[in-house]
Structure 1
Amino acid sequence: MPKRDLGKDPETPRSKSTSPRPGAANIVDVAHRAGVSVATVSRVMNRPELVSPATRERVEKAMAELDYHVNRAASGLRGGYFRTVSIVVASLSQPWYVMLVRALRVELERHGYATLLYDLDHDTSSLVRTLESLARQGSEGVILSTGDRLDDPVTVDALSRARTRFPLVVAGQRVENATWPTVQYDDRTGAREATEHLLEVGAEPVAFLGGLSCSYLGAERFAGYADALLAKGRDPQEWLWPLDGLGFAAGYAAVQEQVAAARIPGGILAVNDEVALGASRALADHELRVPDDVSIVGFGDTDFLPYVSPSLSSVHGSVERIAESACGAIWDMFAGREPAEIEIVRRHLVRRESSRKG
């Protein structure tokens, strides 16, 4: 990622005629008035010891002139500043995101930060609106985690503009030529390992339950599945099963349709754990046993998997490591340091009853 001078404002200064009225300012307005970057204003509020006295005085003067205060839950705090980082996730209906939010909150609170939580419900247009809202509110930092694609021009533009307004980290996927730091799992390797495991236990053919064009993570996981099959001379497209969602019902419906058409695989690699469990129920409704008739592996290793029957094999990735890395990038930006462009968190397969033969 190219270095950026965090001591200079990347935006064009306002003219006097467009200055905000007192009490209506946000963090961008303060940065314009003080002639510094948004990151510098954030450091004055959160890490004042890292800012020179002259710069700190200039920022504090701008805050006073604009009657600036952080708007949190529609209320202000005068005479002090909230230490808050916003968390934006794809969908809290998915257990993995709940686990991630929990890990992020632990890490943020350990450093004295409160959190604001935003649920996109898999709506990319909602992400664009949310980023604009956070900029207007003067958000101090944002951690975004989603498996939905972020590479369309409108979303890339919104993320790039947000990156100039506050520290931003994306947890989950890499976008070509991104201007923001990224933390992500090595999903391709994890999917390859899971597929190789299913082949090793004789669960053939192996179906991939996760054909979603809108999912970056689905594409990465399919690529790993394809790597394993191509190495054995198999066609990865033959057993690619489409989905119309990412929940239990989507997995159930997809397998119902395939089994009704007499397409019964020896193994299934599902795009996530909820889809895998929905698939398992559909197989049971057709009197197909897991793992005796069909082995199943999920993705995400959500914390309840040891307690379902049969317990579900799944590809694990540490949410704590994702949280630590994402927060570490935020701390770097608060301190005026350029974080790593991308950090990869490894995955590994956790083998349980759903993929054990014999």
Structure 2
Amino acid sequence: MAASRVRLADIAAEADVSVSTVSKVLSGRTDIAQDTRQRVLATASSLGYQPRGASTNGEPHGLIELLIGGIGTLWALEVVQGAEQAAALHGKSLVVTNMWHEGFSMATWVASVLAHRSSGVIVATSRADQVELERLRDAGVPVVRLDAAGSPAPDTAQVGVTNWAGMRDATQHLIDLGHRRIGFIGGEPAATISLERQEGYTSALRRNGIPVEAELIQPGDFMIAGGEAAAKALLELSEPPTAIVASSDLEAMGVYHAAFERGLRIPDDLSVVGFDDTVLCQYLSPSLTTVRQPLAQMADQAVRLLGDLSHGNRPAMTRIELATTLIERGSTAAPRG
């Protein structure tokens, strides 16, 4: 079917949803179920749908650059998928660069972006050099940072989630189950979201009259190894926690490893909560209670924001926060005794 003839009704019929639902998804509304949204976007892309005003003549500025810190995690795969679908719907191509490989040079990458005359850049890593990113902005290349992207300047466009509220809800869930000694594993120290999630954790404790104990707060790096190391430190305390809340699902997987090594059963001996809700959660045993952040939607919103900025439009909101949701599964229960 020719792209110019694809109608919303065509997409609706193929995806088995209403025209209204298709319209909401393509306009960036966030009140649509994630599975439905993904099905509509995939259908629109397969039919060759192009929104009004999308470039179809191969002119310059048809590239969106995604700089990401590693592409081997489920978090990264969901971000890439969401950005790729959104870019296609806007008549753009997505170029993904992994900065976590030997020989990567930020300066060389910036020079390449400028040579490509890219439409804009999405930064999904906390390790990007701020000075080099300023070179892009000075050259008129829009930059949007995703949630895990460090501590951007106040005027930097950013798409994220309610990290503070998400971690507060996760901690409150454990408190409601009866836990009072709850360990926390943080993320990368340089990332703003690490601080926001830790503050959500401490806020929930204080609101319930539970003292914040420094020994129960361990640094992490969002990865499995960091989560495992932090969990071992927590479980070796003279009075170990009865529950641990981690700043990512991968860290939570590391907690599972540490608990297994000590002969602890989840959730009988230790409750665990993660953050992200990647597909990994459903395949852990027991399945992981976690905080869902809509990763694909975040990437989609970042592409839309770049579109506005690249056309010289300054949106009313350059800091977009999407809501998180606590997903209760089998890794949490009331403490023994």
Q: TM exceeds 0.5?
A: yes
Residue 324 of structure 1 and its aligned partner are, at CA, apart by 2.4
Percent identity of equivalent pairs: 27
Residue 246 of structure 1 and its aligned partner are, at CA, apart by 2.8
For structure 1, the 5+ residue unaligned runs are 1-46, 51-78
Alpha-carbon displacement from aligned partner over 1:273-320 (angstroms, at most 9, x marks no partner): 011011112101211111111100001111221122100011111123
Opposite residue 323 of structure 1, the aligned amino acid is A
Matched-pair contact (CA < 8 Å) for 1:212–1:219: no
Q: Name 1:35's counterpart in structure 2.
A: none
Matched-pair contact (CA < 8 Å) for 1:163–1:180: no
Opposite residue 201 of structure 2, the aligned amino acid is Y
Matched-pair contact (CA < 8 Å) for 1:88–1:117: yes
Alpha-carbon spacing, 1:171–1:342, altered in 2? closer, same or farther (3 Å): same
- The alignment status of 1:224 with 2:196, answered yes or no, reads no
The two structures have a TM-score, normalised by structure 2, of 0.74
Opposite residue 62 of structure 2, the aligned amino acid is R
Helix, strand or coil for the counterpart of 2:196? helix
Q: What is the rounded CA distance, in whole Å, between the counterparts of 1:174 and 1:256 in structure 2? A: 27
Helix, strand or coil for the counterpart of 1:353? coil
Q: Name 2:326's counterpart in structure 1.
A: 349
Within-5 A mapping of 1:188-207: 188-207=164-183
Equivalent position to 1:84, from 63, 78, 83: 63
Matched-pair contact (CA < 8 Å) for 2:65–2:95: yes
Q: Name 1:101's counterpart in structure 2.
A: 80
For structure 2, the 5+ residue unaligned runs are 1-50
Helix, strand or coil for the counterpart of 2:85? helix
Q: What is the rounded CA distance, in whole Å, between the counterparts of 1:284 and 1:351 in structure 2? A: 21
Opposite residue 307 of structure 2, the aligned amino acid is W
Q: What is the rounded CA distance, in whole Å, between the counterparts of 2:170 and 2:249 in structure 1? A: 13
Q: What is the rounded CA distance, in whole Å, between the counterparts of 1:116 and 1:104 in structure 2? A: 10
Q: Name 2:130's counterpart in structure 1.
A: 156
Alpha-carbon spacing, 1:286–1:176, altered in 2? closer, same or farther (3 Å): closer
Matched-pair contact (CA < 8 Å) for 1:225–1:236: no
Alpha-carbon spacing, 1:253–1:350, altered in 2? closer, same or farther (3 Å): same
Q: Name 1:168's counterpart in structure 2.
A: 143
Q: Name 2:214's counterpart in structure 1.
A: 237
Matched-pair contact (CA < 8 Å) for 2:74–2:280: no
Helix, strand or coil for the counterpart of 1:354? coil
Q: Name 1:118's counterpart in structure 2.
A: 97
The two structures have a TM-score, normalised by structure 1, of 0.70
Matched-pair contact (CA < 8 Å) for 1:160–1:180: no
Opposite residue 202 of structure 1, the aligned amino acid is G
Q: Name 1:141's counterpart in structure 2.
A: 120
Q: What is the rounded CA distance, in whole Å, between the counterparts of 1:254 and 1:177 in structure 2? A: 30
Helix, strand or coil for the counterpart of 2:266? coil
Residue 231 of structure 1 and its aligned partner are, at CA, apart by 1.5
Alpha-carbon spacing, 1:236–1:262, altered in 2? closer, same or farther (3 Å): closer
